Amino acid sequence: MPSESIIKCAKILADKKWNIAFAESATAGRMCAEFSLTSESGKILRGGINCYEVFVKEQIMNVPHKLIEQFTPESEQVTQKLAESCAKFFNAKISVAITGLTAPGGSETSEKPVGTIFIYIITPSAKINHHEVFKGTPEEIVLQAADKAAGLIADSINSNSFQMV
Structure-derived torsion over alpha carbons of residues 33, 36, 39, 45, reported in degrees to the nearest 10:
140
Count CA atoms within 13 Å of residue 91 on its CB side.
0
| Close Cβ partners of 103 (under 8 Å, ≥ 6 residues apart) | 114, 138
E strands in the chain: 20-24, 45-50, 94-100, 116-122, 127-133
At 123 the pLDDT is 96
Question: What pLDDT is recorded for position 165?
Answer: 31
pLDDT at 159: 84
* pLDDT reported for residue 160: 66
Q: Is 124 exposed, middle or buried (0-12, 13-18, 19+ CB in 10 A)?
A: exposed
Taking the model in full, what pTM does it have? 0.94
Say what the pLDDT of residue 162 is.
Answer: 40
Q: pLDDT tens per residue, the chain (165 residues)?
A: 899 999 999 999 999 999 999 999 999 999 999 999 999 999 999 999 999 999 999 999 999 999 999 999 999 999 999 999 999 999 999 999 999 999 998 888 999 999 999 999 999 999 999 999 999 999 999 999 999 999 999 999 988 654 433
Q: Given this model, what pLDDT does residue 105 score?
A: 86
Q: Which domains does the chain have, with CATH numbers?
A: 4-164 (3.90.950.20)
H or E stretch covering 67: helix 65-71
